[in-house]
């Protein structure tokens, strides 16, 4: 290719929040060719979102661009007025976000949500609009587009909502689509289908995509080129093939091994179970669900059926399944939050700790870390002498790798990874025999995720605490667990030693998960790059 047609060129872009010390972007320069998918990778807080917001002109008020320019399709975006910018945004630059639920108006149907895009930018009759919207919905994979049109956002699943957003973004055939972590809140199977959709739409409309993600290994299947950012600077860039096969930059290599969760590189060592170990939890024929009232009638909605498994002392056991399969309901039933309709939970030895998925809501925003650590003791009426209390607190903090000065902080002053650590430390205060970790990594970036997994392995090894690790990410399960349960539709469809289950899957569900996993983390095709 001798002539390269650029759609977007960012030159020496710097950005701060009013002072030199708050500088978030340092002389960022990159370009995006027509029809290309460019991956923008980095951990949370590295400035990737600020970069994308500068391009779309949606920066927060306090942000100040101190130098550089952004040339989009021959125009300098930073010199345009707000009105001109608004015309470009939506029509020529479209955006999709990480959390599709908050990006759709909950009071409007899918049709109304999408129609707004068209009435804002184009002059079409009602019939034309409807036709265009139905066509686009079919294109993004809704076969029953007419039914979807009348639905409200809360009636759709996470993947469906993301599809609707993508349909909305593509309605005006934009030249550039900015996708900010579009798959981070979705499970593996759904993520895969969304990525494939973006890729095919990109080819069909000759659209360029700026794809933002924290997971370097996910971009292999979709991006042509990748740039890696670290604290506001571009530290590495190149075509996906080179970056994934032969990372030269140590930072990139670190990101890659974190996202691949290779137990050897990360030095993850979990307890190997011995069959003579004592059983600390036995669940037999457990069914449970939720009650909802319709008028005066109570409706029971059973979510999990006939679950049987046991956990041995010191074992790390995995539970996999796609979203909505009943993993969370099982956690709640085991931890006693909902009453089982039938079946028993027996042989419960020692205390139980639970770590939740969302680091934002897992801690109480009104209280300090110290309060959080002392609360489990107070709740269980354990009174310790002040010196004893300090000792226990210190050992819990040490176990999760936090410093003591953090005790006086409130959750809003902590990062996601730190909050997740505090949540684990809270569990450790009671020295539990079992920790249930419900997707503890899925809302963290790969580096913090790998650290949390390392931490769990340490707790498992040193304190001989059993861990029930729930995840949809097969890599996590492969790296950490020795035994695995596969759940589908509220039932356990397969169980056995992790290596056996993952190398020789018996059930449809496991096969589907494995296939999606493989495609999601596939390495780019060498030939694709040879032709250039």
Of 8, 209, 426, 470, the residue at the interface with another protein (CB under 8 A) is 426
Segment interacting with another protein, rule: CB under 8 A, options 47-55, 97-105, 109-117, 335-343: 335-343
| Residue with smaller CB distance to another protein, 16 or 115 | 16
Q: How far is the CB of 407 from another protein (least distance, A)?
A: 18
Strand order in the sheet with 316-320: 352-355, 434-438, 466-471, 316-320, 483-488, 491-497
Q: Are 50 and 15 in contact (CB under 8 A)?
A: yes
Segment interacting with another protein, rule: CB under 8 A, options 227-235, 355-363, 462-470, 480-488: 355-363
CA-based nearest residue to 310, from 495, 121, 451, 183: 495
Q: How far is the CB of 148 from another protein (least distance, A)?
A: 27
The residues in 54-113 that bind another protein, with binding defined as CB under 8 A, are 62
Q: Are 184 and 159 in contact (CB under 8 A)?
A: no
Q: How far is the CB of 179 from another protein (least distance, A)?
A: 28
CA-based nearest residue to 109, from 138, 139, 148, 140: 148
CA-based nearest residue to 490, from 287, 294, 218, 205: 287
d(CA 333, CA 348): 13
Contact between 376 and another protein (CB under 8 A)?
Answer: yes
Segment interacting with another protein, rule: CB under 8 A, options 16-24, 45-53, 99-107, 209-217: 16-24
CA 79 to chain centre: 35
Contact between 336 and another protein (CB under 8 A)?
Answer: yes
Q: How far is the CB of 419 from another protein (least distance, A)?
A: 10
Site string for another protein, 380-399 (x = CB under 8 A): x-------------------
Contact between 18 and another protein (CB under 8 A)?
Answer: yes
Contact between 437 and another protein (CB under 8 A)?
Answer: no
Contact between 20 and another protein (CB under 8 A)?
Answer: no
Q: How far is the CB of 429 from another protein (least distance, A)?
A: 10
Q: How far is the CB of 13 from another protein (least distance, A)?
A: 21
d(CA 511, CA 517): 10
Of 300, 367, 394, 511, the residue at the interface with another protein (CB under 8 A) is 367
Q: Are 397 and 425 in contact (CB under 8 A)?
A: yes
Cα angle: 94, vertex 163, 35; to 5 degrees: 45
The residues in 254-273 that bind another protein, with binding defined as CB under 8 A, are none
Which residue has tokens 């005066």? 296
Contact between 466 and another protein (CB under 8 A)?
Answer: no
| Residue with smaller CB distance to another protein, 18 or 74 | 18
| Residue with smaller CB distance to another protein, 4 or 379 | 379
Contact between 354 and another protein (CB under 8 A)?
Answer: yes
Segment interacting with another protein, rule: CB under 8 A, options 88-96, 238-246, 328-336, 503-511: 328-336
Q: How far is the CB of 449 from another protein (least distance, A)?
A: 18
Number of residues that bind another protein (CB under 8 A): 29
Structural tokens at position 240: 């996906």
Helices and strands (DSSP H and E) totals, the chain: 20, 19
Contact between 365 and another protein (CB under 8 A)?
Answer: yes
Whether the CA torsion 360, 366, 371, 374 is positive or negative: it is negative
Q: Are 457 and 269 in contact (CB under 8 A)?
A: yes
| Residue with smaller CB distance to another protein, 366 or 531 | 366
Contact between 379 and another protein (CB under 8 A)?
Answer: yes
| Residue with smaller CB distance to another protein, 27 or 375 | 375
Q: How far is the CB of 347 from another protein (least distance, A)?
A: 19
Strand order in the sheet with 37-41: 93-96, 176-180, 208-213, 37-41, 225-230, 233-239
Q: Are 181 and 224 in contact (CB under 8 A)?
A: no
| Residue with smaller CB distance to another protein, 22 or 29 | 22
Of 335, 431, 482, 507, the residue at the interface with another protein (CB under 8 A) is 335
Q: How far is the CB of 322 from another protein (least distance, A)?
A: 21
Q: Are 362 and 356 in contact (CB under 8 A)?
A: yes
Cα angle: 418, vertex 422, 428; to 5 degrees: 140
How do beta strands 316-320 and 176-180 pair?
unpaired
Residues in a beta bridge with 213? 41
The residues in 275-314 that bind another protein, with binding defined as CB under 8 A, are 293
Residues that bind another protein (CB under 8 A): 17-18, 22, 62, 293, 332, 335-337, 352, 354, 356-358, 361-367, 375-376, 378-380, 423, 426, 430
């Amino acid at each position: 290719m001798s002539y390269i047609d650029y759609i977007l060129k960012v030159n020496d872009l710097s950005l701060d929040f009013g002072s030199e010390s708050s500088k978030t972007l340092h002389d960022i320069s990159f370009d995006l060719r027509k029809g290309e998918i460019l991956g923008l990778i980095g951990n949370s807080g590295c400035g990737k979102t600020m970069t994308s917001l500068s391009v779309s002109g949606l920066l927060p008020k306090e942000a100040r661009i101190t130098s550089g320019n952004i040339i989009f399709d021959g125009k300098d975006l930073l010199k345009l007025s707000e009105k001109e910018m608004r015309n470009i945004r939506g029509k020529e630059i479209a955006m999709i976000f990480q959390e599709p639920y908050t990006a759709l108006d909950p009071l409007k149907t899918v049709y109304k949500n999408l129609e707004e895009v068209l009435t804002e930018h184009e002059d079409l009759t009602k019939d034309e609009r409807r036709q265009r919207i139905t066509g686009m919905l079919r294109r993004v994979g809704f076969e029953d587009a007419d039914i979807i049109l009348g639905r409200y956002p809360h009636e759709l699943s996470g993947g469906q909502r993301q599809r609707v957003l993508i349909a909305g973004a593509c309605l005006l055939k934009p030249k550039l689509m900015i996708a900010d972590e579009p798959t981070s809140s979705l499970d593996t199977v759904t993520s895969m289908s969304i990525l494939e959709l973006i890729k095919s739409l990109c080819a069909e409309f000759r659209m360029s995509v700026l794809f933002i993600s924290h997971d370097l290994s996910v971009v292999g299947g979709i991006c042509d080129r990748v740039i890696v950012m670290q604290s506001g600077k571009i530290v590495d860039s190149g075509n996906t093939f080179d970056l994934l096969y032969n990372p030269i930059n140590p930072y990139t290599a670190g990101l890659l091994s974190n996202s691949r969760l290779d137990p050897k590189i990360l030095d993850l060592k979990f307890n190997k179970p011995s069959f003579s170990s004592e059983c600390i939890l036995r669940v037999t024929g457990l069914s449970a669900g939720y009650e909802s009232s319709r008028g005066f009638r109570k409706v029971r909605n059973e979510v999990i059926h006939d679950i049987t498994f046991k956990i041995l002392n010191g074992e790390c056991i995995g539970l996999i399944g796609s979203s909505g399969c009943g993993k969370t309901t099982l956690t709640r039933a085991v931890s006693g939050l909902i009453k089982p309709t039938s079946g028993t939970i027996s042989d419960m030895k020692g205390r139980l700790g639970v770590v939740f998925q969302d680091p934002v809501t897992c801690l109480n925003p009104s209280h300090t870390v110290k309060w959080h650590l002392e609360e489990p003791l107070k709740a269980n009426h354990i009174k310790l002498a002040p010196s004893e209390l300090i000792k226990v607190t210190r050992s819990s903090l040490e176990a999760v790798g936090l410093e003591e000065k953090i005790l006086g902080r409130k959750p809003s002053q902590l990062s996601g990874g730190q909050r997740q650590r505090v949540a684990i430390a809270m569990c450790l205060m009671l020295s539990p025999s079992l920790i249930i970790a419900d997707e503890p990594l899925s809302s963290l970036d790969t580096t913090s995720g790998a650290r949390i997994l390392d931490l769990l392995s340490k707790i498992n090894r040193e304190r001989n605490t059993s861990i029930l690790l729930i995840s949809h990410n097969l890599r996590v399960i492969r790296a950490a667990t020795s035994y695995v349960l596969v759940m589908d539709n509220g039932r356990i469809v397969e169980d056995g030693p992790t290596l056996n289950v993952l190398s020789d899957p018996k059930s449809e569900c496991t096969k589907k998960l494995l296939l999606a996993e493989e495609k999601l983390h596939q390495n780019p095709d060498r030939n694709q790059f040879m032709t250039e």
